[in-house]
Structure 1
């Protein structure tokens, strides 16, 4: 039996008519869970056709879980074939900094689960290897499609009254003036705010036991790499629904 949508909630914010957005939380190397979610999305579209069905992945595709490479394979295909939008999470930002700007960033990335991503690309750092050696190994191992995928990542996307970001926004700051670092890293100042941000914010970054849908925001990071639950919400009109 196909899994049915559940936990319907409504928001004052609305998407444009004849539009449905599927938003998917932090994946962290769980390609198995991502494949299941993709199947549910495809089944839902087939069961409930709509003129425009979009997908937004809110970032943190890599690290911690065992199969980051396969996650990027799946998302790169989805990006091309389904015009999915993939946002940049703080973990992608750390990998990009190490890969393209600063090999010394390896230490910070390693502390947040980067070794599992390296392993998924067949790289097991040896004690005698320098950060530059590992950087070059990853550059060589990264398929061209994956390099293009990382170049396509966005910091935010807006549709109707909904704003999709990785971590959140700084309250009281206009969208145009937001610091990209806040969009990827912010926690308490955003999570503790009950103010109307002008747009309804859908985000991940801070794991919660189940989708946390509030008046001004929805957190869809359910700690997939550890919990085994990858959350996808279907947004249509004013309704937010856990798929």
Structure 2
């Protein structure tokens, strides 16, 4: 009996597919833009530089990927939404707009006014102000939040609402995977939950596990763009730092571009160099 047990053929443990090298096929250029948070002024300057440097070229597909968190905290959430809606009609670029946790919370507020206080505590109040609305004076009364949710629904144009409700959760192009927050280690990228794609943080940031593709994300702010063997992070806290970051991907190469608000209020565009760790 023991001999039969020990002589059994061990089960084969499936192995994860090897990572796809971080890169894009020939004829493809991708710009990923980090968390905007209502900074229309920075967005306009950055887009002007991007569209000027990557004009339409024969045989080249230029793609803009926005990583979410277009609203809250900054002063012009409404203007940012309008700008992105207009950009979606630009024939010079293929555009993809991902859903961030702040858009997720705004949409939840439109369906369930009870989350209004929590949303406003981390930036929703500024978004409401951009639509000409204010947080209820008596925050503890549910009827005030219900009225505010209804007012916001009326202030959103059909196209703005459609834009928010049609945001994508993730996108894969070549050897890159784009998501607002990142991805949960140990779960194939194709099987990630919508919630993790918008909200994950610690387990993703602190793991050394590589995914099938290089993950490009925002959500977690840093003073400088971040890159290592498994992820590229480009949330540079635009609403507070005055720095909005994008990364340009072509072939095996990457480079960063930033719109920066100077002390005197002028906005300039500058490159930013981050070395890939060995």
Q: 2:68 aligns with which of 59, 66, 73?
A: 59
CA–CA separation in structure 2 for the residues paired with 1:148 and 1:108: 24
The answer to whether the 8 A contact 2:189-2:211 is kept is no
Deviation at 1:239, TM superposition (A): 1.0
Which protein shows a greater Rg? 2
Structure 1 vs Structure 2 CA RMSD: 1.6
1:161 matched to which residue of 2?
Answer: 175
The answer to whether the 8 A contact 2:188-2:212 is kept is no
Deviation at 1:177, TM superposition (A): 2.1
1:201 matched to which residue of 2?
Answer: 215
CA–CA separation in structure 2 for the residues paired with 1:131 and 1:47: 46
User: Which deviates further from its counterpart, 19-28 or 103-112?
Assistant: 103-112
CA–CA separation in structure 2 for the residues paired with 1:242 and 1:48: 21
Instruction: Flag structure 2 segments of 5+ consecutive residues without an equivalent.
Output: 1-19, 258-278
- Structure number with greater CO (CA < 8 Å, separation at least 6) is 1
CA–CA separation in structure 1 for the residues paired with 2:191 and 2:57: 38
Deviation at 1:125, TM superposition (A): 3.2
Deviation at 1:240, TM superposition (A): 1.3
Instruction: Flag structure 1 segments of 5+ consecutive residues without an equivalent.
Output: 1-10
1:150 equivalenced with 2:164 (yes/no) = yes
The answer to whether the 8 A contact 1:20-1:50 is kept is no
Deviation at 1:196, TM superposition (A): 1.6
The alignment's TM-score, normalised by the length of structure 2, stands at: 0.80
Deviation at 1:14, TM superposition (A): 1.2
The number of aligned residues is 232
2:261 matched to which residue of 1?
Answer: none
CA–CA separation in structure 1 for the residues paired with 2:133 and 2:203: 37
Instruction: Name the SS for the 1:113 alignment partner.
Output: helix
1:95 matched to which residue of 2?
Answer: 106
CA–CA separation in structure 1 for the residues paired with 2:70 and 2:254: 23
Q: 2:127 aligns with which of 117, 129, 135?
A: 117
The alignment's TM-score, normalised by the length of structure 1, stands at: 0.91
Deviation at 1:112, TM superposition (A): 1.0
